[in-house]
Amino acid sequence: MSIGRTFEETIQKALRMVDESCTGFDSHRFDLELGHRGQSGEGAVKAELQKPTPTRIWAIAKAFQMGISLEEVHDLTKIDRWFLSKLFHIHQIKQALGCYGLAELRTNEAVLKEAKRCGFSDLQIAHELRQAQMTPKLSPFDISDNAYSGGRVQEIHVRSLRKKLGINPVVKQIDTLAAEFPAETNYLYLTYSGEEHDIPVHSAKPPPANDSRGSDGFILDASQPSPIPEPLKLGADTPARKDYTVKQSGSSRVIVLGCGPYRIGSSVEFDWCCVSAIRTLRSLGHEAIVINCNPETVSTDFDVSDRLYFEELSHETVMEICEIEQPGGVVVSVGGQTPNNLAMGLHDAGIQILGTSVQAIDACENRFKFSKLCDSLRIDQPEWSEFTTSEEAFHFCKRSGYPVLVRPSYVLSGAAMRVVNNDADLEMFLKTAAVVSRDYPVVISKYIDGAKEVELDAVSQDGELLNYAIAEHVENAGVHSGDASLLLPAQKLFVETHRRVKMIGQKLCRALKISGPFNVQFICKENEVKVIECNLRASRSMPFISKTYNVNFIDIATRVMLGMSVRPVSINLLDMDYVTSKVSVFSFGRLKNSDPRLGVEMQSTGEVACFGVTQYEAFLKAMISAGFKLPAKNILLCIGPSKEKLEFIQYAKLLHDMVSSCMPQRIRTKSSASTRA
């Protein structure tokens, strides 16, 4: 849900909220869709306009770019002309921005103001501006790190110019009393269509606008001192920018970044984590400020936080709110992958990220750095290699053999991650997924068949484990952890496997100096334990684990991030007289032509959890709760491992054909219908 004072501003905000890769109402998003479909031309655009689809809004932007008139778009879409005229106004501003370079925009302040009033982000404006040739004669705007001397305009260049011109958003409050009485709600939003703030704001020195938005570029080497800094606690000075100071009065204000829109990979589990963190902050006397854009969450209820900004989770927006609120720190580890992806840019801009350092987060999110870290710590992992070209990927596959797993960095729930079985599949995937030559490296690793996957969810303080939980997957490795069924406590792990999982978790914990929640995924086969990945944030299993053990892991993690001295809560697994099982819910039955096969990219749209005296009772309860219907009559055919089951498919078809040929016509027709059902 987006809030603004013009339709143009509101629709552009909403588009960015739905898809972080989208900069607003532009045609780039639809160009990617056409490329994925293998289509092009005006005919494909007009065909898209004639039917309501998730991408039609961007198809309208493409139509305007191709010169299709507003009236023709109206005839094709039947969308009211008022809305189309507003969208066309956005298109006109884009065209105007394309006539300016950054230097010319500095002398045309009105154009920049109108663009911001109509919801253009700094990044969107940077993409539309004309590039200037890089010449020594082109004088930079200033002598800071943001000096623009030609080439492609970056987001930070637009932000720096905007700040110099004094173009800043104001905080507006939603009036729930129809102007009859003064409104006191904490529903807030930012807009450029205003002159003053509706609420008291904290005046302080803004953070310097010289964030490089890049990585430190350190190399992990076991022979060198650790580059991971100490965790940051509330009230501490940020080591990144000494000139970004927060007054003591603001040290008790903490911003919590929410989970954003509900979708596959980010759902109510992370909202539970956010609300738990907010309640802990407020119970300890801190002022909790929430940034989220999802009206369906508990974190956006009017009485949950002290201030609620209904805004997009983007670098620009969070920076503006931090400049207004002057918080003592920002919590990024309880809202899932979306806030985690913002950590590095916010840190580079001088914002204090509470808990585990952003260098440690980057060392885990960046696949190449994490693999190097595991090698330096002598932690076993599947054979791997980094690649930036397709030739390097084919060379690795030839050396290690198929199947292999391709894993990009900084992705949500296995997006663009695939198990590849041959050269043809690898070539097709690399062409369609566009994973090569990204901002972050792509790692390809050996895929291990027939192995069990195990998860470690824990809270650590200054590199020492406080509380942890080890859960096992019912399905073999290869199914995304968000789709897999879990058993907690683990029921079929060897004692040695359990010991090694904890030992590796502790080793990573100390190396990364973790202070807060984290999750490590392992692959286990024949008593060998290998690390798959590590996420330095709360996982979607945190609510499940907290309710199973009756210990709020997020409450502990929040106290750790505040710098409090925390003791581990005693959890005795031998005293537990129950087992819990978590089973995912899928929507394949409601989606026509959907592929029900599970893989390394998450597909579930919900989950259930049930308790039972035994693992079988808990799992059966969970399956029934997820919608699985037990057959009234059937024959059990127990074959063995998954490999043997797959080999039996051809013989099952042969048996079916033999039985059908022996049946009378009436019975055969009934049997075939039953088989299809």
Asked if residue 617 and residue 489 are part of one domain, the reply reads yes
Angstrom distance (rounded) from CA 539 to CA 545: 10
Strands 418-420 and 464-476: unpaired
pLDDT at position 410 is 54
Range of the domain at 70: 7-166
Could you give the residue ranges of the DSSP H alpha helices within 494-566? 495-512, 542-549, 553-561
**Among candidates 236, 505, 530, which has minimal Cα distance to 357?**
236
Q: In what order do the strands lie in the sheet with 486-488?
A: 528-535, 516-525, 452-461, 464-476, 486-488, 579-585, 606-612
The residue from 337, 354, 371 where one domain ends is 354
Does 175 reside within a domain?
no
Number of domains in the chain: 5
Does 242 reside within a domain?
yes
Asked if residue 464 and residue 569 are part of one domain, the reply reads yes
228 touches 221 (CB < 8 A): no
User: Tens digit of pLDDT for each residue in 71-83?
Assistant: 999 999 999 999 9
The residue assigned the tokens 């198809």 is 59
The torsion angle over the Cα atoms of residues 111, 116, 119 and 123, rounded to 10 degrees, is 90
Asked if residue 97 and residue 245 are part of one domain, the reply reads no
User: Tens digit of pLDDT for each residue in 615-655?
Assistant: 999 999 999 998 888 877 777 778 877 777 778 888 888 88
Asked if residue 490 and residue 426 are part of one domain, the reply reads no
Asked if residue 546 and residue 414 are part of one domain, the reply reads no
Asked if residue 309 and residue 348 are part of one domain, the reply reads yes
Asked if residue 488 and residue 414 are part of one domain, the reply reads no
The torsion angle over the Cα atoms of residues 567, 569, 574 and 580, rounded to 10 degrees, is -140
pLDDT at position 576 is 87
Token representation of residue 593: 């032509």
Does 171 reside within a domain?
no
Return the CATH number at 553: 3.30.470.20
**Among candidates 386, 382, 363, 405, which has minimal Cα distance to 532?**
382
Cα end-to-end distance, the chain, whole Å = 40
pLDDT at position 75 is 93
pLDDT at position 432 is 59
Return the CATH number at 257: 3.40.50.20
CA distances from 225 to 204, 218, 229, 365, 372 (A): 37, 11, 11, 21, 15
Return the CATH number at 27: 1.10.1030.10
Find the angle CA(401)-CA(402)-CA(406) to the nearest 5 degrees: 110
Does 182 reside within a domain?
no
**Among candidates 338, 360, 188, which has minimal Cα distance to 270?**
338
pLDDT at position 478 is 79
pTM passes above 0.75: yes
Asked if residue 349 and residue 396 are part of one domain, the reply reads no
Asked if residue 412 and residue 476 are part of one domain, the reply reads no
556 touches 514 (CB < 8 A): no
Return the H-helix or E-strand segment holding 253: strand 253-257
**Among candidates 523, 521, 522, 454, which has minimal Cα distance to 492?**
454
pLDDT at position 146 is 56
Q: Which residues, other chains included, contact 239 with Cβ-Cβ below 8 Å and sequence gap of 6+?
A: 229, 232
pLDDT at position 392 is 78
Q: In what order do the strands lie in the sheet with 253-257?
A: 170-173, 187-191, 307-310, 287-292, 253-257, 329-331
CA distances from 453 to 492, 549, 652 (A): 12, 21, 29
Strands 307-310 and 187-191: parallel
pLDDT at position 441 is 58
Would you call 468 helix, strand, or coil by DSSP? strand
414 touches 602 (CB < 8 A): yes
pLDDT at position 137 is 43
Does 655 reside within a domain?
yes
- Phi, then psi, of 601 in degrees rounded to 5: -105, 130
Asked if residue 311 and residue 256 are part of one domain, the reply reads yes
The torsion angle over the Cα atoms of residues 235, 236, 241 and 245, rounded to 10 degrees, is 40
pLDDT at position 134 is 56
Asked if residue 414 and residue 493 are part of one domain, the reply reads no
Which residues are paired to 291 by β-bridges?
257, 309
Angstrom distance (rounded) from CA 324 to CA 119: 19
Asked if residue 399 and residue 439 are part of one domain, the reply reads yes
SS (H, E, C) 566-622: CCCCCCCHHHCCCEEEEEEECCHHHCCCCCCCCCCCCCCCEEEEEEECCHHHHHHHH
Q: Give every residue of the chain whose pLDDT is below 70, as ranges.
A: 133-150, 203-226, 234-251, 388, 408-417, 430-442, 663-677
Angstrom distance (rounded) from CA 132 to CA 117: 25
